[in-house]
Amino acid sequence: MCLRRNVPPRRDQRDVAASGRRRVAHLLAGLGLMWASGHGPAAAAVRVPVILAFGDSLTAGLGLPQNEAFPAQLQARLAALGVTARVVNAGISGDTTADGRARLDWALADKPDLVILELGANDMLRGIDPQLTRGNLAAMIAEIRKSGAKVLLAGMKAAPNWGARYQKSFDRIYPELAQEDHVALYPFFLDGVAMDPALNQADGLHPTAKGVAVVADRIAPYVVRLIGGRP
């Protein structure tokens, strides 16, 4: 009977085996890191575009529950079109363009991909000089662009209360800014809703939930094009 002595593997065999183990360990560690950071195959996710609805009571949803305000209804409308996005409600009732300009930097901390700039109605209602309104809007457009976000300027039209001269000066603010600053324009935020008692609350100024649905439905295609959801 012959006893076989344990013969250690040759040095080159030991080196190859150790090298293989190291490669496997590095691979496993890398996979673990990918899973932990959310970049692994099963954890990979497409970033959802963030839309900042920045405005006054028309955006905030005065008189309505939050799920019926413009941002919530726009997000639902986009979803119905097959576009996933998160719409942030950054509307504050009573805000003028000066108020919005003062808080814009804070609002942009959400790093939005698109900002719907809906301000100016309260300027008009208070009879603020259209040149001041224009200057504030222009400054906000510049700040939004500097942050890397796109801009959708939501236009407003003046009521005749302040006279034809004021009305003409105010109404031309939005189309002129859009042309000069090369930003997308939704000509009139309350298009299809203004002056319709069936779509407005008792004050005649703020849309009902049905009125907001009309606004969301009409503005959604503009938003989709800007965030690249569809051609």
Predicted local confidence at residue 32, as pLDDT: 45
Provide the number of structural domains found in the chain: 2
C-alpha neighbours within 13 Å on the C-beta side of residue 80: 11
Q: Are residues 100 and 205 in the same domain?
A: yes
Q: Are residues 58 and 26 in the same domain?
A: no
State pLDDT tens for residues 121-172: 999 999 999 999 999 999 999 999 999 999 999 999 999 999 999 999 999 9
| 229 pLDDT tier (thresholds 50, 70, 90) | low
In a domain, 17, yes or no: yes
Q: Are residues 38 and 115 in the same domain?
A: no
Which of 105, 110, 203, 217 is catalytic? The answer is: 203
Q: What is the pTM of this model?
A: 0.81
State which amino acid sits at residue 134.
Answer: R
Q: Are residues 113 and 32 in the same domain?
A: no
In a domain, 195, yes or no: yes
Query: Under 8 Å CB-to-CB from 12, ≥6 apart: which residues?
Result: none
Q: Are residues 184 and 121 in the same domain?
A: yes
Range of the domain at 35: 10-45
In a domain, 3, yes or no: no
| 22 pLDDT tier (thresholds 50, 70, 90) | low
**CATH number, domain with residue 197:** 3.40.50.1110
9 exposure class (CB count in 10 Å sphere: 0-12, 13-18, 19+) = exposed
Q: Active site includes 206? A: yes
Mean per-residue pLDDT of the chain:
86
State pLDDT tens for residues 173-217: 999 999 999 999 999 999 999 999 999 999 999 999 999 999 999
Predicted local confidence at residue 228, as pLDDT: 87
Which of 57, 95, 113, 123 is catalytic? The answer is: 57
Q: Active site includes 147? A: no
11 exposure class (CB count in 10 Å sphere: 0-12, 13-18, 19+) = exposed
Which of 56, 95, 113, 206 is catalytic? The answer is: 206
Q: Are residues 86 and 195 in the same domain?
A: yes
101-114 b/e (C-beta count within 10 Å ≥ 16 → b):
beebeebbebebbb
Q: Are residues 27 and 85 in the same domain?
A: no
* End-to-end C-alpha distance for the chain, whole angstroms: 83
Q: Active site includes 203? A: yes
Q: Are residues 83 and 167 in the same domain?
A: yes
In a domain, 177, yes or no: yes
- Comparing CA positions, the residue from 69, 43, 48, 59 lying closest to residue 99 is 59
Q: Are residues 73 and 31 in the same domain?
A: no
Token representation of residue 54? 């920045």
Strand partners, 184: 152
In a domain, 114, yes or no: yes
Q: Are residues 107 and 170 in the same domain?
A: yes
Query: Under 8 Å CB-to-CB from 132, ≥6 apart: which residues?
Result: 97, 98, 123
pLDDT of residue 18 exceeding 60, the answer is no
In a domain, 99, yes or no: yes
In a domain, 1, yes or no: no
- Comparing CA positions, the residue from 68, 67, 76, 120 lying closest to residue 98 is 120
- Comparing CA positions, the residue from 103, 58, 49 lying closest to residue 79 is 49
Q: Are residues 19 and 109 in the same domain?
A: no
Could you give the CA distance from residue 71 to residue 79 in angstroms, rounded to a whole number? 12
In a domain, 82, yes or no: yes
Q: Are residues 123 and 15 in the same domain?
A: no
Q: What is the mean pLDDT of residues 59-86?
A: 97
